Amino acid sequence: MANDLLQPIANMQVPYRESRWSTSQPDSSDAPVPWWKYRLSDSMKGLLVALFGGGVPAGFVGPFSHIANATSQMPSLEILFFRCLLHLFIAFWLCWKKAPLFGPPDSWKRVLLHAVVNVISVGCAYSSYMVVPTGNAATVRKGSSTVSSTLLALCMDKEKLTGYNWLGLLGSTVGLLFIVVPSLLKLDEKTRIYDILGYILATMGGLALALGLVIFRTFDFKSKLATVIFVFGAVGSVFSTPAMWILQSPIIPQDPLSVTCVVAISVLALVSFLCASYAVTITHPALVCAVLHSEVVVTMTVQYYVLREAVSPFDVVGAGVIIGSIAVITAQNVSCDREDLMVQD
């Protein structure tokens, strides 16, 4: 009788519980991975390149253009001409690599269109720097480029944005509005026409910038970065040379400050152009344009500490909102790929 009652208990399967004195090795998948074994995602790499290589150097271009114009009355088209000359030297690298200067034959039209669009963007931007404060011009240009790139990406790009990315885009746009709207409401009646013209030029420059980034994403040949740099220099030289003599009065810079500013503009603009173009190949163009808003913060800082131009509380608030929006976008795209590691005995 007792055996019959104890038989079900004897047949029960007790789950195995590992003793703390067990000598078995833990699962290798749970082992901690050293920090140097992690890699940044491609999206995060693109954002960092756009932030430190595209936005920060570009933030000095506007103030340096303003200094060159104020010091020696150097017109904007002449600054564009000197910048394009630096781009032409990339032809030696293309010839050394035995790559076609204008890219593959099936991409010639798009490469030329990309160059024309970027020449228009830079020409409008440099002209706006001479008319309105550099911080406001950079703000309007970046704001229009972000809105335009977002709309173009929604229509042409299959890649979707997350909720945090939309929040960052909205925040960066609101930050730009904090900076621009008070300035627009306080336009001087004597210079209102010139100020409106400057803001229109800045808006056109932003539209062209967004279109150029979207066009660049369609290139798939190996030497595309070097090719677009050379073609931009060639097209810009062809257009700016006659326009420089017809629309403006070119001068020969002689004082060291103007020469230094022109050289710095050419080098910094080339670095920014290269990094922004590379960033859109691995990151959404709308996010790249949003991260490029760091140019506005840098420009306003230089404008205040170097040019001694006034910065309103709205400018400070707008710059803070922009920085916070960039932080949101960057934090959303921080992701690491863990390498497959095996813990060996």
Q: Considering the domain boundaries, does residue 21 fall inside one?
A: no
The stretches of 186-312 forming alpha helices (DSSP H) are 192-216, 224-246, 256-279, 285-291, 294-305
Domain that holds residue 127: 39-335
Q: Considering the domain boundaries, does residue 20 fall inside one?
A: no
Q: What is the pLDDT of residue 264?
A: 92
Where is average pLDDT lowest: 6-10, 57-61, 89-93, 208-212?
Answer: 6-10
Where is average pLDDT lowest: 54-58, 127-131, 163-167, 336-340?
Answer: 336-340
Q: Above 80 in pLDDT, residue 161?
A: no
Q: Is the Cβ–Cβ distance between 138 and 59 less than 8 Å?
A: yes
As a whole number of angstroms, the distance between CA 309 and CA 305 comes to: 8
As a whole number of angstroms, the distance between CA 38 and CA 121 comes to: 39
As a whole number of angstroms, the distance between CA 291 and CA 49 comes to: 10
Q: Is the Cβ–Cβ distance between 261 and 144 less than 8 Å?
A: no
Q: Considering the domain boundaries, does residue 180 fall inside one?
A: yes
Q: Above 70 in pLDDT, residue 275?
A: yes
Q: Considering the domain boundaries, does residue 5 fall inside one?
A: no
Residue 336 has φ and ψ, to the nearest 5°, of: -120, 140
DSSP state of 281: T
Q: What is the pLDDT of residue 34?
A: 56
Q: What is the pLDDT of residue 342?
A: 40
Classify 40 as helix, strand or coil.
Answer: strand
Q: What is the pLDDT of residue 112?
A: 92
Highest mean pLDDT among 148-152, 230-234, 276-280, 311-315: 230-234
Q: Considering the domain boundaries, does residue 200 fall inside one?
A: yes
As a whole number of angstroms, the distance between CA 269 and CA 249 comes to: 23
Q: Considering the domain boundaries, does residue 190 fall inside one?
A: yes
- Count of domains observed in the chain: 1
Tell me the percentage of the chain whose pLDDT exceeds 70: 79
Q: Considering the domain boundaries, does residue 67 fall inside one?
A: yes
Q: Considering the domain boundaries, does residue 287 fall inside one?
A: yes
Tell me the percentage of the chain whose pLDDT exceeds 90: 7
Q: Above 60 in pLDDT, residue 2?
A: no
User: What average pLDDT does the structure give for the chain?
Assistant: 77
Q: Above 70 in pLDDT, residue 16?
A: no
